[in-house]
Amino acid sequence: MKTSRLAAAAALMLAAGACQSDLDPGWLVYRDRVLGARVETAADPRVASPAPGDAAVVRWVMAAPPGAAQDRSWTFVLCPAAPYAGGIESCGGPAFTSFAGRGPSPAVAFEVPPAEALKTTDHLALIGAVCSGGEPSVDPTSGVVSCGGGLVHQVALGIGLASDEPNHNPVLGDDRIAFDGRSWPAPAGDACSEGAAPRVAADGAVHTIELTLRGSDRDTYTTATGNPPRAVSVRESLQLSHFATAGELERQYSVVERNDDRDSTAVSIEWIPPPAEEVPAGGLPVNLTFVVRDLRGGLDAATRTLCVTR
């Protein structure tokens, strides 16, 4: 099914692009990482399932420790997706087009080929490499990527095309995130500048982060279930991933189940600041990034900062 394919593709993209030591928690961002990708149509950025002929863009979600160099370069190819067999997305035919760029955050703008070029294809594959240092290259046939000596993130994303039930990106807006019960706006300059971000002491105290997800932002779609299968209408489930550059997060994932029919669901996670010996005299900026997925190809992300003081 399309839903299962997109969920698996997203997970495999992250496994390929964000590997860490087995000793490090998965939520810890200690070096450059790819956390996900958001598909938008030009006519409506909330629509994650473009139709043939639509202009669209894929924006990759990156994370790195505060102050880390963000000299990133990338290369991608867009192609018809090969039949999915539980592995990473790959090309099932010649590439439609290719892309290359450099900057802090990869973004790939493209036009979905017309229906006559797509034929029976209902998925596209965007495969390639994001490099932190070095120059990227990708073999669209094998999917092998390299960065000429730099840190390589191999990425492969399945892009589902429009159907009778278009998929919309979930929402993680400015009004949805709170720190210790207070609204937590997006970063405004250096986190340790006066008034730019919450300031917390390195005293081992537990702090609470709350993310609010609205039921109205979750699509209802038709899926087959049971034996024999029958079509039923269900509401999307949501998966939240949490990441931090320092301190200790309670867990990496939270889930809003499909049978959660509340108008608004609040997800709370705990964070503990790093010990005082890890905090410089001027304070330690910390980034926390939150990624929400509907497991059907939709995604949204937000980053917040704070300053830890001795």
CATH of the domain at 13: 2.70.50
- The residue that leads in pLDDT, 16 or 45, is 45
Only one residue has tokens 């010649």, namely 94
- Domain count for the chain: 2
Q: Which of 117-131, 138-152, 169-183 has the lowest mean pLDDT?
A: 138-152
Distance (Å, whole) CA 159 – CA 75 = 17
Enter the pTM of the model. Answer: 0.90
Do 99 and 21 belong to one domain?
yes
Say if 167 falls within a structural domain.
no
**127 is in which domain, residue-wise?**
2-160
- Domain stop point among 138, 160, 182: 160
Query: In terms of domains, do 283 and 200 share one?
Result: yes
**Mean pLDDT across the stretch 77-96?**
86
Quick check: helix, strand or coil at residue 141? coil
**Does one domain contain both 95 and 221?**
no
User: Cβ-count burial of 176 within 10 angstroms (0-12 exposed, 13-18 middle, 19+ buried)?
Assistant: buried
- Domain holding 225: CATH number? 2.60.40.10
Lowest-confidence range among 80-94, 102-116, 243-257?
80-94
Q: Is 251 inside any structural domain?
A: yes
Enumerate residues 6+ apart whose C-beta is below 8 A from 2: 122, 123, 160, 163, 296
CA max distance for the chain: 65
Task: Tell me which of 194 and 94 has the higher pLDDT.
Answer: 94
pLDDT at 143: 64
Nearest one of 208, 192, 189, 184 to 309, comparing CA atoms: 192
Q: Show the CA angle centred on residue 44, arms to residues 189 and 303, nearest 5°.
A: 25
Residue 199 or 20, more confident: 199
Query: What does the DSSP 8-state code read for residue 297?
Result: S
- Give the residue, 2 or 280, on which the prediction is more confident: 280
Rounded distance between C-alpha atoms, residue 63 and residue 302, angstroms? 11
55 and 194 belong to one structural domain: no
**Are both 87 and 189 inside the same structural domain?**
no
Q: Band the pLDDT of 19: cuts 50, 70, 90.
A: very low
- 230-267 pLDDT, tens digit per residue, is 999 999 999 999 999 999 999 999 999 999 999 999 99
In a domain, 168, yes or no: no
Residues 103 and 202 in one domain: no
- Tell me: do 37 and 145 sit in the same domain: yes
Q: Are residues 98 and 124 in the same domain?
A: yes
Tokens for 36, please give them: 């996900």
Residue 184 maps to a domain: yes
pLDDT score at 234: 92
Residue 82 lies in a domain: yes
**Within a domain: 166:** no
Same domain (yes/no): 97, 11: yes
Question: Do 135 and 185 fall within a single domain?
Answer: no
The residue out of 128, 160, 192 marking a domain boundary is: 160
Q: Looking at 131, 160, 189, which one is the last position of a domain?
A: 160
Domain membership of residue 169 (yes or no) is: no
| pLDDT above 90 (res 115) | yes
Locate tokens 């250096």: which residue? Answer: 190
What pLDDT, in 10s, does the model give residues 155-195? 999 999 988 888 999 999 888 899 999 999 988 778 898 77
Q: Are residues 156 and 7 in the same domain?
A: yes
Q: What angle do CA 142, 158, 253 make, to 5 degrees?
A: 115
Name the one residue in this structure whose structure tokens are 């959660």: 260
The pLDDT, as a whole number, for residue 123 is 92
pLDDT in tens, 52-65: 999 999 999 999 99
The pLDDT assigned to 97 comes to 94
Tell me the residue type at 209.
Answer: I
For residues 156 and 250, membership in a common domain is answered with no
